[in-house]
Chain A
Amino acid sequence: MKAAHYLVILIAGALFGFGLSYSTMVRPEVVLGFLKFQDWGLMLVMGGAVAVTVLAYQFAPRLLRAPLLGGRFDTKAIPWNRDTAVGAALFGVGWGIAGVCPGPAIAGLGTGNWDLLWALGGTALGALVQGWRAKA
């Protein structure tokens, strides 16, 4: 990867982090409020993000021969199997307890919210234990 790649990746991440903060998704209280049916905002966040991304994912590979900086378009094919089902179910349980998912656990630090280090540490530990138990 060239410097231009990393610059684009940094800007893309920054847009993501700004959006998470602007939409208050970096605040566990807001996410838990959604999960307790007090506020439906998270549907708008998810819906807005998908509305834009679906255009890029569906049209870019059809209109462009390759990504603008070269290489090829990744196709992420995840199978539906036991791991996906159990993993998703567990992810929801953890998300429902903390009100924090992997993105906001990182982005929230940029808003000076050091409490979220607990969530970041927990998530990192969870990923470590998962990989430790898994077969390569």
Chain B
Amino acid sequence: MDITSLFPFGWSHYLVGGLVIGLGVSLLFVFTGLVGGMSSVYSSTWSYLVKRPFFQQARFTQSRGWRLVYAAGLIVGALVWWLVFSDGTAQHTSVPAWQLGLGGFIAGYGARLGNGCTSGHGICGLSSLSLPSLGAVLTFMATAFLTANLFAWVQA
């Protein structure tokens, strides 16, 4: 099998992007000791507004500040890419809004119930050599493959 058929859009930007992501997560850990998964910010930010005991746990109220700064960093980094490396036109997606909203809702609920997403379990969990995270990654990969193909099949 021809290896390039696995990467119809090329492969180097994937690898370079991944290495840069790893550099960011590593920098965070080496300097501050913090583990930088992304889904927690969604719960910790609600702690500013929602007074229910779940959201007022110390793990959210004590991390909400830095998690928001980390999230702001995400936007800054993407903005740098947009201004310097793209042609400067605003990006769009052909995925319909209802699909983005519904998928986002289920993914947000699931990531918080399962304590992690592609970055928390995927990048941070695997790098911690955590078996539960490996289990989570294999589980969400399996259901994501199934769902995406089922959706494509239904819509075809």
Contacts and interface: CB of A to CB of B under 8 A. Distances in A.
A75 B100 CA distance: 33
B96 to A, nearest CB: 9
Interface residues of A, number: 117
A14 B82 CA distance: 12
A134 to B, nearest CB: 5
B139 A110 contact: no
Contact of A84 (B90, B101, B123, B132): B132
Contacts of B37: 76
A136 B61 CA distance: 13
Contact of B139 (A49, A88, A108, A120): A88
Given A29-B95, A49-B18, A68-B31, A110 B74 contact: yes
In this complex, which of B18, B23, B128, B150 has the most chain A Cβ atoms within 10 angstroms of its Cβ? B18
Contact of B141 (A8, A68, A92, A118): A92
Contacts of A106: 38, 41, 71, 74-75
Contacts of A19: 16-24, 77
A124 B100 CA distance: 12
Contacts of A16: 20-21, 24-25, 36, 38, 70, 73-74, 77, 119
A52 B23 contact: yes
Nearest to B24: A15
Nearest to A56: B26
B42 to A, nearest CB: 4
Given A18-B77, A130-B112, A46 B118 contact: yes
Nearest to B141: A92
Contact of B33 (A48, A58, A74, A102): A74
A34 to B, nearest CB: 9
A26 B118 CA distance: 13
A97 B105 CA distance: 10
Nearest to B126: A50
B148 A9 contact: no
8 contacts: A22-B16, A24-B17, A53-B22, A80-B131, A91-B110, A102-B107, A119-B101, A121-B101
Given A19-B77, A48-B19, 6 more contacts: A45-B21, A50-B127, A90-B107, A97-B148, A102-B41, A103-B117
